[in-house]
């Protein structure tokens, strides 16, 4: 990209980029590196094909979901903040009631940078994890959805890079470069958070990821959307509008796999769904167990001084803070959490301030449960006696209170030997993964679907299901 490119034209934005020469210069040097990253670590296939994509060109109702066919490298990664609210005040912590900050207070520079970098790191990580999936897309509409998620995660990276460059000077520019250098699953320079170094090898994993892991995004973005640092709050608020589609892709994706499994069970009068090329419900349950537990880890330790300090400082709130009816300081509030005590799980009251991570995880679990209930309804409506359950929060955890114990999905503590004996009753085994892998075939005829998944009920943006969402 030539240095003379008009960045305010190239990058749709509502941050007055045209008038900020310093920021433009910073973006001019980062943009070609981003494009290089996209080329090498973004979607491996179909970069030269027209994809029916939604692009945000402004934040109002008309502009944020603008549909058209374009090639992914021509997607306009914009920088948008949700509309500002006049006289907005800080909603929680020790600065509650004071005006929100339009700049970064010196004393909070380091923790804010850390939060923004951690958030920013997840976005390109997910694109890296998903980069080979188009090769096995079960239909054109699914392939399009994958690419939609990918370009928007790219835009979320831009959103965080904008904050780093506009508010954190040289440190911010260095962090922006590192965001393109760390790599999902890399031994030397891995992504920051655990789940973002896992593989997303097949479409079942992709749907689970967008259901469970993008939903962590919903809750983390929700807490940052409460931040006293207003540009961060408004960035995250706008990102949430895009996030809804990612979770929709996951939820409907799994629904369609469930639906197909049920059809096979009813048509063939058998529980042996695999014999007829479907995904059996027991394997789906194992995938749920894996992706749910790995995503739970993303909320950090239940007792966290980091989180308490973020909260007190006003950097990171609770989900929908303003709807909660307590003192929004939490020093004298209690909250019940599960702990391991002498080899047993017990519920104890803790200081609410010390356990804000756990509270957020509780909100997240309740939201996941609502999705699981909808899948269960699909199964029950078809008269099949089976239901999915979310595993206990102590199951298969790497972070926090339960990192050192072994627990069954029902929450019974067991020893390591028993865990090793039984873990593949609960988590996908190599054989399960190989089976799922064997189902993955690319389908590129408009309106046709791989046999392991039912068609969606509706198309994208009122287009027909057999619309050519990717022009091949």
Q: Which of 331, 15, 314, 29 is nearest to 162 (CA)?
A: 15
**By CB under 6 A, which span of 17-25, 76-84, 211-219, 347-355 interacts with ligand BYC?**
211-219
Helices H / strands E in the chain, number of each:
13, 6
**By CB under 5 A, which span of 130-138, 153-161, 292-300, 386-394 interacts with Fe ion?**
153-161
Q: Which of 22, 33, 306 is nearest to 168 (CA)?
A: 22
Nearer to Fe ion among residue 176 and residue 353 (C-beta): 176
- When binding is defined by CB under 6 A, the residue of 357, 361, 428, 443 that contacts ligand BYC is 357
Output the CA angle 399-126-137, nearest 5 degrees.
125
Residue 408 DSSP symbol: -
x/- contact string, 86-125, with Fe ion (CB under 5 A)?
A: -------------------------------------x--
CB of 169 to Fe ion, least distance (A): 25
Dist CA 355 CA 233 (whole Å): 22
Nearer to Fe ion among residue 121 and residue 243 (C-beta): 243
- Find which of Fe ion, ligand BYC, none residue 235 binds, CB within 5 to 8 Å per kind: none
Listed in sequence order, the residues at least 6 apart from 366 whose beta carbon sits closer than 8 Å to its beta carbon are none
Q: What are phi and psi of 182, to 5 degrees?
A: -55, 150
Examine residue 123 and tell whether it contacts ligand BYC (CB under 6 A). Answer: yes
Dist CA 32 CA 73 (whole Å): 12
Per CB under 6 A, contacts with ligand BYC among 272-331 are 297-301, 304, 306-307, 316
- Find which of ligand BYC, Fe ion, none residue 220 binds, CB within 5 to 8 Å per kind: ligand BYC
How far, in Å, are 314, 343, 347, 371, 395 from residue 350 at the CA level?
Answer: 21, 19, 10, 29, 22
Examine residue 220 and tell whether it contacts ligand BYC (CB under 6 A). Answer: yes
Examine residue 214 and tell whether it contacts Fe ion (CB under 5 A). Answer: yes
- When binding is defined by CB under 5 A, the residue of 131, 246, 260, 286 that contacts Fe ion is 246
Angle between helices 140-167 and 21-41 in degrees, nearest 10: 150
**By CB under 5 A, which span of 42-50, 136-144, 149-157, 181-189 interacts with Fe ion?**
149-157
Within 10 angstroms of residue 13's Cβ, the number of other Cβ atoms is 24
Examine residue 143 and tell whether it contacts ligand BYC (CB under 6 A). Answer: no
CB of 159 to ligand BYC, least distance (A): 11
- Find which of ligand BYC, Fe ion, none residue 213 binds, CB within 5 to 8 Å per kind: ligand BYC
CB of 153 to Fe ion, least distance (A): 5
- Alpha carbon dihedral 449, 453, 454, 457, in 10-degree steps, equals -90
Residue 273 DSSP symbol: T
Dist CA 332 CA 330 (whole Å): 5
CB of 223 to ligand BYC, least distance (A): 7
Dist CA 117 CA 126 (whole Å): 15
Nearer to ligand BYC among residue 230 and residue 243 (C-beta): 243
Q: Where are the beta strands (DSSP E) in 312-405?
A: 334-341, 344-351
Examine residue 183 and tell whether it contacts ligand BYC (CB under 6 A). Answer: no
Examine residue 191 and tell whether it contacts Fe ion (CB under 5 A). Answer: no
Count interface residues toward ligand BYC (CB under 6 A).
25
- Which residues contact ligand BYC by CB under 6 A? 115, 118-119, 122-123, 126, 153, 193-194, 213-214, 216-217, 220, 297-301, 304, 306-307, 316, 357, 399
């Amino acid at each position: 990209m030539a240095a003379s490119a008009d960045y305010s034209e190239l990058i749709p934005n509502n941050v007055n980029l045209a008038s900020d020469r310093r920021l433009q210069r910073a973006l001019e040097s980062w943009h070609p590196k981003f494009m290089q990253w996209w080329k090498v670590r973004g979607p491996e296939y179909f970069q030269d094909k027209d994809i029916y994509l939604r692009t945000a060109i402004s934040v109002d109702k008309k502009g944020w979901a603008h549909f058209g066919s374009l090639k992914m490298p021509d997607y306009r990664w914009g920088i948008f903040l949700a509309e500002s609210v006049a006289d907005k005040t800080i909603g929680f912590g020790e600065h509650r009631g004071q005006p929100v900050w339009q700049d970064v207070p010196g004393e909070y520079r380091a923790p804010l940078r850390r939060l923004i970098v951690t958030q920013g790191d997840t976005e390109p990580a997910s694109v890296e994890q998903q980069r080979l999936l188009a090769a096995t897309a079960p239909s054109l509409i699914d392939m399009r959805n994958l690419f939609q998620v990918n370009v928007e995660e790219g835009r979320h990276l831009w959103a965080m890079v904008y904050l780093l460059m506009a508010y954190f000077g040289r440190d911010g520019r260095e962090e922006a470069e590192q965001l393109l250098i760390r790599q999902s699953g890399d031994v030397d320079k891995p992504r920051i958070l655990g789940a973002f170094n896992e593989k997303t090898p097949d479409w079942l994993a992709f749907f689970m990821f967008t259901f469970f892991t993008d939903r962590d995004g919903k809750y983390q973005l929700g807490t940052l959307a409460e931040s006293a640092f207003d540009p961060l709050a408004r960035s995250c608020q706008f990102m949430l509008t895009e996030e809804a589609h990612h979770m929709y892709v996951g939820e409907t994706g799994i629904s369609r796999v469930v639906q197909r499994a049920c059809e096979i069970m009813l048509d063939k009068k058998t529980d042996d769904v695999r014999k007829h090329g479907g995904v059996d419900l027991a394997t789906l349950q194992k995938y749920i167990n894996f992706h749910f537990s790995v995503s739970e880890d993303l909320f950090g330790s239940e007792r966290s001084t980091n989180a308490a300090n973020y909260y007190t400082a006003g950097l990171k709130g609770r989900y929908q803070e303003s709807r909660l009816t307590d003192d929004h300081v939490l020093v004298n509030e209690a909250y019940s959490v599960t702990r391991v005590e002498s080899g047993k799980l017990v519920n104890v009251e803790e200081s609410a301030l010390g356990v804000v991570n756990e509270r957020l995880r509780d909100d997240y679990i309740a939201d996941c449960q609502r999705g699981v209930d909808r899948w269960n309804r699909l199964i029950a409506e078809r008269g099949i006696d089976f239901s999915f359950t979310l595993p206990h929060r102590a199951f298969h955890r790497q972070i926090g209170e339960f990192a050192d114990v072994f627990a069954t999905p029902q929450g019974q503590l067991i020893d390591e030997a028993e865990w090793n004996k039984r873990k593949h009753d609960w988590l996908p085994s190599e054989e399960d993964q190989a089976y799922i892998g064997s189902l993955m075939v690319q389908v590129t005829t408009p309106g046709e679907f791989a046999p392991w998944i039912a068609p969606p009920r509706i198309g994208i943006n009122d287009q027909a299901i057999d619309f050519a969402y990717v022009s091949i």
